[in-house]
Amino acid sequence: MTKNAKIYAVIAVVAVLGASYGVYHLLGNKAPRGAETADLASITNYDQCVEAGFAIMKSNPEQCMTSDGRIFVNKKPPAQSELDKAEQAIRTFMGEPNLELKYTGQNNHPSNFAILSNVKQNDGGFTADNPKEWDRPVYIFQQTDYINDRCEVYQYQVTQKTNQVVEVGIVYPIERSATIPGNCTGNGSLDWPLISKDQIEQAAFAYLGRDPEHTKFMLRSDIQPQYLPSKPGVENPAANEWRWEDTSYKLPEGLMGDPWPYPTMRIIMSAGGKLVYYLNTTELFD
């Protein structure tokens, strides 16, 4: 090899090493500008994480993750005007203008609605992804008064986009667990006094009638409701369910609905005509 050739070879090696070093830093250093100089030990909350320059992960609520893998959740409540609208929707649906409510958080979708992709079965069930385009974020509220002295309260989930009461259920208050009575003095009943099936049905449809904008599709369609008592054939079943299912709807290929792959509306009433559960996913499939 001539002297000039050796020089060119050294230059080429240096150039390759330099390029490799540059690529390493471009691909390997994932910290956003400014975040690489942050004092990680001093970051203890969401605001500090954002101020340090780390990226915000879109979710409900938003999250921020530092370069050492810690995740901080944005605990700030939504704008009061948004919460006021959601609370008004709840009071209208329940027919209780003075209902006292407490905001408890938000989620990417209602408890009993999820659209999944890349579903893989395994021995313990299945794994899946949650496509972001199928997020249907909700605000979550609990009422402050116990239901019939049962040590339980209603929990409401309201869609952020359409202000629809999409799900109502009975839960323990967020400030207590099932083993801590709190201020509850007894275990009341949803079933007493007993009323007739016709009266229960009338009470159920009264709820649906208070939200005609979001219940009208199922009620006015040719889909016939199924009546599903908890114990068929008895005079006063503990639970009385009316359910509408739009089985004509088909999800795009590769997606799975959990628990239902099509629009569903359910309302469950007790033997005493009290609301036990409500779900209306009709518009979540739009």
pLDDT digits (tens, 9 = 90+) for 97-140: 999 999 999 999 999 999 999 988 888 788 899 899 999 999 99
First-to-last C-alpha distance (Å) of the chain? 71
Among 3, 70, 8, smallest CA distance to 42 is for 70
Structure confidence at residue 59 (pLDDT): 72
Q: Is pLDDT of 180 > 70? A: no
**Confidence band for 201, pLDDT divided at 50, 70 and 90:** very high
Pick the more confident residue, 32 or 155. 155
Q: Give the closest residue to 264 by CA, choosing from 94, 113, 158, 157.
A: 113
Domain ranges of the chain: 1-30, 33-76, 80-285
pLDDT for 4 equals: 46
Other C-beta atoms lying within 10 Å of the C-beta of residue 264 = 23
If you average pLDDT over residues 178-189, what whole number do you get?
64
- Claim: this prediction has a pTM higher than 0.85: no
